[in-house]
Amino acid sequence: MTPHLRIEETGQVFELAEEITTVGRGAGVAIRLGDPSVSRLHAELVRRGDHVYVADLGLSANGTRVNGRPVGRRVLDEGDVVAFGTSRARIGGLPMSATDEDTVEMRRVVAPDLTRREVDVLTALCRPALQQQAAFVAPATARDIAAELVVTEAAVKQHLLRLYLKFLIPEGINRRTRLANEIISLGIVRPGAADSDGRPSPAVLRVG
């Protein structure tokens, strides 16, 4: 079965037969949506073997969400609801037999290469959520990250700006939160064994 996207508002079904399927409101895209909250070139759906991931292109203030959570890139599972602005669609036709190891490997492909310092910043950013293991936990502030890493707040902000670009996090409110959600959803940092002061030690998937 070919993966497909079903637009909830109209019932239209689009097969994702190509390696890259563009989504937007403008002319020339593969999946054209009339919703004014959708940018002319809003996102891409990318096939990699048995997997499909969505990549927000950062050109819309309204962004892309998967199951209600803002994303820059995200590997999709069968039945996930993808919102381009306020236009919602459901992914279908994905194989159910993909193993956890396959999914982890796909997440490695999706995630950009990171320096060791960028991983340190992301770990500190996500630490509140990793500690509490709960949704809707505010990520660490730039000041908190600077204090943990013993660097200046200005240096942390520069790292965050580069990370926003790497993970295609568009400008707008809650940018740190969107980055933290993306990092956790991709599994780039996740809780492991607690360190000596009781904080979770992250498991890092990819470091360049």
pLDDT of residue 159: 95
Start-end of H helices in the chain: 100-110, 116-132, 142-149, 153-166, 175-186
Give tens-digit pLDDT for 145-177.
999 999 999 999 999 999 998 888 888 788 898
172-179: which pairs have CB atoms within 8 A and are 24 or more residues apart?
Answer: 172/61, 172/63, 174/70, 176/125, 176/139, 176/141, 176/142, 177/70, 177/138, 177/139, 178/63, 178/70, 178/71, 178/72, 179/72, 179/122, 179/125, 179/139
Give tens-digit pLDDT for 39-70.
999 999 988 877 898 888 877 778 888 888 87
pLDDT of residue 111: 64
**pLDDT higher for 182 or 194?**
182
Give tens-digit pLDDT for 188-208.
775 543 343 444 444 443 333
pLDDT of residue 101: 56
Give tens-digit pLDDT for 66-110.
888 877 778 898 999 999 999 999 999 987 655 455 555 555 556
pLDDT of residue 103: 59
pLDDT of residue 102: 59
Token pair in block for residue 119: 């991983």
pLDDT of residue 149: 94
Whether residue 115 has pLDDT greater than 70: yes
pLDDT of residue 197: 45
Region 129-149: what's the mean pLDDT? 80
Output the pTM of the full model. 0.54
Give the angle subtended at the CA of 207 by the CAs of 205 and 208, to the nearest 5°.
145
pLDDT of residue 128: 86
